[in-house]
Amino acid sequence: MHFKNPELLYFLFLLLVPILVHLFQLRRFKKEYFTNVRFLKALAIQTRKSSTIKKWLLLACRMLLLTFIILAFAQPFFEAKDSKYSNNELYIILDNSLSMQAKGQKGELLKRAVQELLENIPENTTFSLLTNSQTFWNTTKKEIQSDLQKLQYSGIPFQVEALLTQVQAHKSAYKKDIIIITDAVGLEKKQLQSIRKEDNAYFIIPKAEQKNNIAIDSVSIQETLENFYELNVELSSHGDNNQKSSIAIYNGNNLIAKTIVTFDKNKKIVPFTIPKQEFHGKVSIEDNGLTFDNDYFFSILKPKKTAVLSIGEAEKSNFLGRIYTSDEFDFVNSPLPSLNYNAIEKQNAIVLNEIEAIPTALQTTLKSFVQKGGNLVVIPAPTANANNLNELLNAVGNIQVKPLATVEKQITKINFAHPLFASVFESKVSNFQYPKTKINFEIVGNNSVAFYYQDGSSFLTSVVNATNSVSVFSSPLNTTNTNFQQSPLIVPTFYKMATLHSNIGINARVIGDNSPYLVATKLYKDAILSVKNKDEEFIPIQQAVNDKVKLSFNDYPEKAGNYEIFNQKMPVENISFNYNRIESQQNTPNEASYSDYKTIESIAAVINQLQTDRTDSQIWKWFVIFALLFLLAEMAIIRFLK
């Protein structure tokens, strides 16, 4: 037992007072006998015995009364078992990612968690609250009640590691209690490594009742016809098989097409045909699962031709003319002697096709072209000098080649993960007819290889940067040296090399994707580009690059939808944003990730446990009660005991 005011125990010396009073009352008197009262002798003896018992009882009651009063004011208590944690600071990490839209027994997981926080956190408790999108330090329930009630779902996946880092970086002289409220979808054990041993971590894992979910994963153009686009909409089903859903395509608010899809397997591709025109809309489905993945917003910009310039002999560039057709490209071939250098900066892509010697002036111009966001393709000439090639390649892409070698090689491997082949192949191709080359310059370095020879060396190295690309073949592509022109690989390869970073086809970005986005517009003076729709407006990070502007969106916008890019007040380009689909693909909590920590059923249980384990047992009230009982006993003795 402990005392809050142990110094008051010195007042126990006051117990001497009733003892002294009692001794004074028990002092002996001198006896005098009178003949007239001798007959009262027996009665007097009996009375004195009764009076002595009464006085002893009164003394005991008064001493106990005084003792319990003094002890009550000293405030005795029994120390709690976790009293050493009583000064801990409280941190609450609340997952408001899109997977928390799932419905539990009492509604959506996030909304129910917010309601429990508001109901169970004591009014005077100071705590810090961290979510995916907002942070509140050293606050109270009353101060953030309105913000909590308005808390929206975040398009950013739950990153508990980053939030825990913020908690640990928040300097404090006290230890920490960390309550993590999450559905644990996608949670990994390594993300919790920053939780220190001296801190107490509690997990609250709300359970979703509805496991079935249908999601729109992607939209792609399967084929471009003269007047139509053939689209493929990829859907995924999680949970029970044989789920059904209606699916519709809207251009703005106008319904373009609608059908019913039945899932006989987890993945389903639904084809649609839409008019070949500017598109700014969405694909939409209906299901009873998560709602964030029921809409996929995308844009198709007004068809715009890609400018491609081939520098080299016309005879050797005929195959390029067959790839870069007039319906999609402005293709021009120019021999080196008649090259107009001023036309280079107006191109989207330049193919340097078997130039024997690259002049210094052209090297300087091509370096500037690449730096400003252009795509460069280098096809070496069989008579090219390796040192001359290296001067250009080192300037534009830090690539080097060795002198020409006369060795026949076969092209046997495709790097399907290369950015050059994103969305090109539906499946990995392994049984194609291997092209071969008779001579080649060996490409050295650690740059990304797109095509490999059978010996593991590079046939095509393509360095894809944020705003430009440099692609280098190790061998001339003329028909005397190789049969690559007859390979089915040549068309998608050259098509992608020319159209990289151009906003053609499906324009649909993922919120949180930090890759740059190029807009073909010029900024004058203090002009800036803004992105907005009817619900949201923001200004992205931007940098003017020649006649283009490079945009970085970071974690904006907050909501998925169709947006427009404005240069001042003039609309420039349509753009669409979607939520990351990773949380619709992972709908099962990863229990192994938090198995080493305490799991509590609810906020109320955590708060009650913390208060119970860390609150001392105050027993001073019992001493007051005992004091009152002895006071009543004293009064009863005085009144009723003769």
In this structure, what token pair is assigned to residue 519? 């807009």
419 versus 462: the higher-pLDDT residue is 462
Q: Are strands 598-599 and 200-204 parallel, antiparallel or unpaired?
A: parallel
Q: What would the pLDDT profile of 483-521 be if each residue is shown by its tens digit?
A: 999 888 899 899 989 988 777 778 899 998 888 888 888
Q: How far apart are CA 238 and CA 243, in angstroms?
A: 9
Q: How far apart are CA 152 and CA 536, in angstroms?
A: 14
Position 345 pLDDT exceeds 90: no
Q: Are 400 and 443 in contact (CB under 8 A)?
A: yes
Q: How far apart are CA 128 and CA 240, in angstroms?
A: 40
Of 30-34, 279-283, 611-615, the range with the lowest mean pLDDT is 30-34
102: helix, strand or coil: coil
Q: Residue 30: which pLDDT band, with cuts at 50, 70 and 90?
A: low
Q: Are 604 and 120 in contact (CB under 8 A)?
A: yes
Q: Residue 35: which pLDDT band, with cuts at 50, 70 and 90?
A: low
- Specify the pLDDT at position 472: 94
Averaged pLDDT of the chain:
84
Q: What would the pLDDT profile of 186-233 be if each residue is shown by its tens digit?
A: 788 888 888 888 788 889 988 887 778 889 999 988 887 778 889 999
Dihedral of alpha carbons 467, 458, 325, 228, sign: negative
Position 598 pLDDT exceeds 90: no
Position 482 pLDDT exceeds 70: yes
Q: Are 378 and 473 in contact (CB under 8 A)?
A: yes
**74 contact partners, CB below 8 Å, separation of at least 6:** 3, 4, 5, 6, 8, 9, 620
Q: Please spell the DSSP secondary structure of 427-457, one letter per residue.
A: S---SSPPPEES-EEEEESSPPEEEEETTS-
Span 620-633, mean pLDDT? 81
- Specify the pLDDT at position 608: 78
Q: How far apart are CA 244 and CA 126, in angstroms?
A: 49
Q: Are strands 267-275 and 295-300 parallel, antiparallel or unpaired?
A: unpaired
Position 11 pLDDT exceeds 80: no
Q: How far apart are CA 392 and CA 399, in angstroms?
A: 9
**Phi, psi (deg, nearest 5) at residue 116:** -65, -35
Span 308-317, mean pLDDT? 92
- Specify the pLDDT at position 84: 59
Q: What would the pLDDT profile of 447-460 be if each residue is shown by its tens digit?
A: 889 999 999 999 99
**512 contact partners, CB below 8 Å, separation of at least 6:** 155, 156, 157, 554, 555, 580
491: helix, strand or coil: helix
Q: How far apart are CA 615 and CA 619, in angstroms?
A: 12
78 versus 124: the higher-pLDDT residue is 124
Closest C-alpha to 503, from 373, 371, 327: 373
Helix or strand (DSSP H, E) at 318: helix 318-323
Position 530 pLDDT exceeds 80: yes
- Specify the pLDDT at position 367: 92
Strand order through the sheet with 176-181: 135-139, 127-131, 89-94, 176-181, 200-204, 598-599
Q: Residue 39: which pLDDT band, with cuts at 50, 70 and 90?
A: low
Q: How far apart are CA 243 and CA 251, in angstroms?
A: 26
Position 251 pLDDT exceeds 70: yes
Residues in the chain, overall count: 642
Q: Residue 47: which pLDDT band, with cuts at 50, 70 and 90?
A: low
Q: What is the largest CA-CA distance in the chain?
A: 162
- Specify the pLDDT at position 559: 92
* CA dihedral angle for residue 150, residue 153, residue 156, residue 162, rounded to 10 degrees: 60
Q: What would the pLDDT profile of 88-147 be if each residue is shown by its tens digit?
A: 788 999 999 888 888 888 888 899 999 999 988 888 888 999 998 889 999 998 999 999
DSSP state of 431: S
- Specify the pLDDT at position 294: 92
- Specify the pLDDT at position 425: 59
Span 413-429, mean pLDDT? 72
